[in-house]
Chain A
Amino acid sequence: MAVLSPDQVKPAEYSKAFDGESVAALLKEGVDGAVISSSSAGIVVDSAKIVDALEWLKNSPDLAYDYFNSVTAVDWADKFEVVYHVASTVRGGPPLALKVNLNDKENPVVSSASSVYYGALQQEREVYDFFGIKFAGHPNLRRIFMWEGFEGYPLRKSYREAYYEQERKPFETRWDQGHHIINEDRTPWHDNVVYPKNFDPTVFKQQREIVRVAPTIEQGDIKAIKTQPIVVSIGPQHPSTHGVFRMMVTLDGETVMALEPVFGYLHRNHEKIGERNTFYMNIPFCDRLDYLCGMSMETGYVLAVEKMMGIKPPERVEYIRVIMNEFTRIVSHMFGGIGQVYSDLGAFFTPIVIYGLEERELVLDLFESASGSRMMCNYMRFGGVWKDLPEGWLDVAHELAHNRLPRVVDEMEKYLVHNEIFDLRAKNVGVLPPDLALSYGVSGPMLRGSGVKYDIRRADPYGIYDRFDFDIPVGTNGDIYDRMWCRIQEIRESIKILQQALKGIPTGEIQAGKKAYSFKVPKGDVYAHIEAPRGDFGWYVVSDNNATPYRYHIRAADFINLATMEQMCVGHKIGDMVGVLGSVDIIMGSVDR
């Protein structure tokens, strides 16, 4: 099990690769008049034909774009650009970008893609909330992060947030004549809240009724109503919701009839902050996204900007990134993906959470000694890492990867698998069929638990992941049990990767080129995604040849995974719902952004 050298890298499992140009050539024949222009980066599609084009790409046997990555928008001076990313789990390879230009800035409307991919249901609501772009045919086009009475669309360039100072950082008030002012004093709160016209807070009522959006729930699941259904709001302050997350659940007795996730309690508009920041400043902010795996979040963002600037990090850095990412995956699964689920299933803070936490402490000690912080690591840099590993670091990592972690995983598996109580609670509960999982754009252990063998590290390898030997564990049923089992097996695979990486890590440089705190990034857009512990995290960064990004969008895997909550919970008891939510493994820092 040795690491392959760069020139003997294994040929990719997925052979047929298409770039924008070749797909466009096929699409021209498939859907008449859909393609306006194309490049290797993506295809510009006619706004009237986008749904047809998506449907054709999905159903085409050669292309098989069956996986919906993301939909977002960019606010240009003269138009809105809606950007779709679709990928193929059959073929692998990088996702394809489809762009639609909406020239009407007053009333931008485009057809909803939710009839093709259910994943669009939730993400189109996000685009509507932030840009005010309407999706015709969407069954439930309401605000998702902001509240119903909010005025304005926060990600439009014309919108100015509370405590607004300047379009781009660094702020001029800070240096040369930087007399300290407390921010809250500068722009008192009441000056920044804009209410809609004719808004009267005394009569405003938030929408209460549940809007049924899940299209494929069989009516047979819901038993004939004998009692009066009640709507229960679970959260935002509830121990089982992993943060400030709320679910509106319609109950018939104890049985869940409908469920609607309510987001936005931790929303801080990370993307707007990212557009004010310089490229460099965004690195520590990325740690705050999914705070259980900060190292992965940084890696994803850094990869995106490196791709734009054409930097290649030195060999040692690539290895350090792999080591850090796999350690992150292990601790995230042990604590979040396994320990917390167990505690959600009723074993509240019993040993398995504590055992997970114990190992997590040791790995966080490693992070602390290398990067200076346990969770908010701020370690990755464009083309490098902050500092070389300190003396003795690799010995401790070696001990963990070879002796300690394998022992603990064995123990954990013995503790969980074949446990009768756990079997009863987890088997055949919260089942997500593979076709639904794909259509919703579910990723990570949830998708693999449903039996789809799709891992970005294999399908679209980044860094040096193509050099390592590891398997992708897949489940069969797609229930809570399979997700947990997948996570345990993934820890084993991560240990395997760690052992190889620790063996092969070379000495040498830790930074390519010269470090600078402010630099211009060439014009263009890029989408980079990584296999984070919770799934496919993608960064869509647009630059207009400036020191700050023009658009900075994050595809948060757990936000998208949450869209399937209703599908998984309907027909089950309310107690199982908590377990299902745990098995989705959400971190509100990245769900709400």
Chain B
Amino acid sequence: MKLFPTGTLTGMLIVLKRLFRSYPNDIQENIKAKSLFKATSPGVASERASVYQKGLITVEYPEVKLKPPENFRFIPFLVYEPVLDAADKPIVDAATGKEEVGVERCTACGICAKVCPPQCIWIVRATGADGKPKPKASEFFIDIDVCMNCGMCVEFCPFDAIKMDNEYELAGYERHVNHIYDFDTLMKSTTYYESIKPTDYATEEAARKAKEDAKAKKAAPKGAAATKEAVEAE
């Protein structure tokens, strides 16, 4: 070994440089907030946790949470369209605080259950009074401890009825009760979906509208009959 460890000292110099680089932002932030221990706000945090920053940043989770990107996926949910009032606002039941469900998009076609790699989706198809199957699920379970968050159910759903959520804090005390999501737990409205994935929602709605317009144009002569059928189907 050399008497004077230049290489080691170079390394230490790098560490020192890094240390100094990390703090100017924090100090500025604290002066602005007039506090020594104020947690960084989410906006500032996400700006500084980018490739352009030079120092190290600590996001003080759980006080501060970064917004996940739009493609983020975690545990699927089922989409319904809420009933809208005259002002295009969803009608909320005063007693339960829940939105009134308009259209359930799921038709219990079973594609999501078939593509699911760990087979965590369980669906029972509803039957009508006449014993014939109806396009509706009477039971729908997702075992979220088995789910591997791959998003394949979403990829192949032909009705845009199942989507990936952004909710990631799912720890619970009871695996056999809390972690098996039933139909009611899974149902979330399109407004929620729009709030977490605005780009996807916009493209899907545009595609849906274009499809409906084309259909309406085609079925214009017998429009009355088509509406009647649609009502029956529901």
Bound-complex Cα distance A518 to B15 (A): 53
Bound-complex Cα distance A281 to B156 (A): 12
Q: Which A residues lie within 8 Å of B121 (CB)? A: 174-175, 178
Bound-complex Cα distance A173 to B70 (A): 34
In the complex where A176-B125, A420-B2, A424-B1 touch, is A517 in contact with B111 (Cβ < 8 A)? yes
- With both chains docked as a complex, state the minimum distance between the C-beta of B26 and any C-beta of chain A, in angstroms: 16
Partner of B8, one of A176, A372, A378, A420: A420
Q: Which A residues lie within 8 Å of B68 (CB)? A: 368
Interface segment among A29-37, A316-324, A410-418: the answer is A410-418
- With both chains docked as a complex, state the minimum distance between the C-beta of B169 and any C-beta of chain A, in angstroms: 16
Across the interface, name the chain B residue whose C-beta is closest to A399.
B51
Q: Is B117 an interface position by the 8 A CB rule?
A: yes
Query: Do B6 and A517 touch across chains, with their CB atoms under 8 A apart?
Result: no
Query: Do A175 and B117 touch across chains, with their CB atoms under 8 A apart?
Result: no
- With both chains docked as a complex, state the minimum distance between the C-beta of A136 and any C-beta of chain B, in angstroms: 40
Per the 8 Å Cβ criterion, residues 343-402 of A in contact with B are: 351, 354-355, 358, 361-362, 365, 368-373, 376, 378, 386-387, 390, 396, 399-400
Q: Is A241 an interface position by the 8 A CB rule?
A: no
Interface segment among B91-99, B142-150, B207-215, B224-232: the answer is B142-150
Partner of B122, one of A179, A281, A282, A386: A179
Partner of B73, one of A176, A183, A373: A373
Query: Do A517 and B156 touch across chains, with their CB atoms under 8 A apart?
Result: yes
Query: Do A517 and B180 touch across chains, with their CB atoms under 8 A apart?
Result: no
Q: Which A residues lie within 8 Å of B52 (CB)? A: 399
Query: Do A378 and B156 touch across chains, with their CB atoms under 8 A apart?
Result: no
Query: Do B69 and A368 touch across chains, with their CB atoms under 8 A apart?
Result: yes
Bound-complex Cα distance A350 to B148 (A): 33
- With both chains docked as a complex, state the minimum distance between the C-beta of A272 and any C-beta of chain B, in angstroms: 14
Q: Which A residues lie within 8 Å of B152 (CB)? A: 280-281, 284, 378, 517
Query: Do A372 and B111 touch across chains, with their CB atoms under 8 A apart?
Result: no
Across the interface, name the chain B residue whose C-beta is closest to A400.
B51
Query: Do B150 and A415 touch across chains, with their CB atoms under 8 A apart?
Result: no
Query: Do A368 and B122 touch across chains, with their CB atoms under 8 A apart?
Result: no
Bound-complex Cα distance A299 to B65 (A): 32
Q: Which B residues lie within 8 Å of A283 (CB)? A: 150
In the complex where A169-B119, A358-B56 touch, is A182 in contact with B10 (Cβ < 8 A)? no
- With both chains docked as a complex, state the minimum distance between the C-beta of A194 and any C-beta of chain B, in angstroms: 24
Q: Which A residues lie within 8 Å of B115 (CB)? A: 170, 280-281, 517-518
Bound-complex Cα distance A522 to B17 (A): 59
Q: Which A residues lie within 8 Å of B217 (CB)? A: none
Query: Do B117 and A284 touch across chains, with their CB atoms under 8 A apart?
Result: yes
Bound-complex Cα distance A180 to B124 (A): 9
Q: Is B128 an interface position by the 8 A CB rule?
A: no
- With both chains docked as a complex, state the minimum distance between the C-beta of A488 and any C-beta of chain B, in angstroms: 14
In the complex where A176-B123, A362-B51 touch, is A420 in contact with B5 (Cβ < 8 A)? yes
Query: Binary interface profile of B, 68-112, with partner A (CB < 8 Å = 1, else 0)?
Result: 111111000000000000000000000000000000000000110
Bound-complex Cα distance A179 to B122 (A): 6
Q: Which A residues lie within 8 Å of B114 (CB)? A: 170, 174-175, 517-518
- With both chains docked as a complex, state the minimum distance between the C-beta of A357 and any C-beta of chain B, in angstroms: 10
Query: Do B110 and A404 touch across chains, with their CB atoms under 8 A apart?
Result: no
Q: Which B residues lie within 8 Å of A371 (CB)? A: 71
Partner of A180, one of B70, B150, B180: B180
Query: Do A281 and B117 touch across chains, with their CB atoms under 8 A apart?
Result: yes
- With both chains docked as a complex, state the minimum distance between the C-beta of B56 and any C-beta of chain A, in angstroms: 6
Query: Do A404 and B122 touch across chains, with their CB atoms under 8 A apart?
Result: no
Q: Is A159 an interface position by the 8 A CB rule?
A: no
Bound-complex Cα distance A404 to B115 (A): 40
Q: Which B residues lie within 8 Å of A399 (CB)? A: 51-52
- With both chains docked as a complex, state the minimum distance between the C-beta of B199 and any C-beta of chain A, in angstroms: 8
Bound-complex Cα distance A176 to B164 (A): 23
Query: Do B51 and A170 touch across chains, with their CB atoms under 8 A apart?
Result: no
Bound-complex Cα distance A369 to B50 (A): 13
Bound-complex Cα distance A173 to B150 (A): 21
Q: Which B residues lie within 8 Å of A386 (CB)? A: 151, 155
Across the interface, name the chain B residue whose C-beta is closest to A381.
B155
Bound-complex Cα distance A183 to B176 (A): 11
Across the interface, name the chain A residue whose C-beta is closest to B66.
A365
Query: Binary interface profile of A, 91-125, with partner B (CB < 8 Å = 1, else 0)?
Result: 00000000000000000000000000000000000
Query: Do B117 and A178 touch across chains, with their CB atoms under 8 A apart?
Result: no
Q: Is B7 an interface position by the 8 A CB rule?
A: yes
Bound-complex Cα distance A505 to B213 (A): 36
Q: Which A residues lie within 8 Å of B123 (CB)? A: 174-176, 178
In the complex where A277-B117, A358-B56 touch, is A180 in contact with B141 (Cβ < 8 A)? yes
- With both chains docked as a complex, state the minimum distance between the C-beta of A413 and any C-beta of chain B, in angstroms: 11
Query: Binary interface profile of A, 420-448, with partner B (CB < 8 Å = 1, else 0)?
Result: 11111000000000000000000000000
Q: Is A14 an interface position by the 8 A CB rule?
A: no
Q: Which B residues lie within 8 Å of A178 (CB)? A: 113, 121-124, 139, 141
Query: Do B15 and A387 touch across chains, with their CB atoms under 8 A apart?
Result: no
In the complex where A284-B150, A376-B149, A518-B114 touch, is A421 in contact with B8 (Cβ < 8 A)? yes
Across the interface, name the chain A residue whose C-beta is closest to B69.
A369
Query: Binary interface profile of A, 258-299, with partner B (CB < 8 Å = 1, else 0)?
Result: 000000000000000000010011111100000000000000
Query: Binary interface profile of A, 499-523, with partner B (CB < 8 Å = 1, else 0)?
Result: 0000000000000000101100000
Per the 8 Å Cβ criterion, residues 48-74 of B in contact with A are: 49-52, 56, 68-73
Per the 8 Å Cβ criterion, residues 122-136 of B in contact with A are: 122-125
In the complex where A170-B119, A178-B139, A378-B151 touch, is A419 in contact with B7 (Cβ < 8 A)? yes
Query: Do A174 and B155 touch across chains, with their CB atoms under 8 A apart?
Result: no
Q: Which A residues lie within 8 Å of B36 (CB)? A: none
- With both chains docked as a complex, state the minimum distance between the C-beta of A121 and any C-beta of chain B, in angstroms: 34
Q: Which of A174, A177, A277, A281 has the most CB of B within 10 A?
A: A174
Query: Do B149 and A175 touch across chains, with their CB atoms under 8 A apart?
Result: no
Query: Binary interface profile of B, 16-57, with partner A (CB < 8 Å = 1, else 0)?
Result: 001000000000000000000000000000000111100010
- With both chains docked as a complex, state the minimum distance between the C-beta of A559 and any C-beta of chain B, in angstroms: 23
Q: Which of A372, A400, A411, A424 has the most CB of B within 10 A?
A: A372
Q: Is B11 an interface position by the 8 A CB rule?
A: yes
Q: Which A residues lie within 8 Å of B180 (CB)? A: 180, 182
Bound-complex Cα distance A178 to B142 (A): 11
Query: Do B119 and A180 touch across chains, with their CB atoms under 8 A apart?
Result: no
Partner of A284, one of B49, B111, B148: B148
Q: Which B residues lie within 8 Å of A179 (CB)? A: 122, 124, 139
In the complex where A372-B71, A418-B6 touch, is A285 in contact with B117 (Cβ < 8 A)? yes
User: Which residues of B does A touch, CB under 8 Å?
Assistant: 1-2, 5-8, 10-11, 14-15, 18, 49-52, 56, 68-73, 110-111, 113-117, 119, 121-125, 139, 141, 143, 146, 148-152, 155-156, 164, 176, 180
Q: Can you list 29 residue pairs at the A/B interface with Cβ under 8 Å?
A: A170-B113, A176-B124, A178-B113, A178-B124, A179-B139, A180-B141, A281-B152, A282-B117, A354-B56, A355-B18, A368-B69, A369-B70, A372-B73, A373-B73, A376-B149, A378-B151, A378-B152, A386-B155, A390-B71, A396-B50, A400-B51, A414-B11, A415-B11, A418-B7, A419-B7, A420-B2, A420-B5, A420-B6, A423-B7
Considering the complex of A and B, which 5 residue pairs feature the smallest CB-CB distances, nearest first?
A: A175-B110, A178-B122, A284-B150, A418-B7, A281-B117
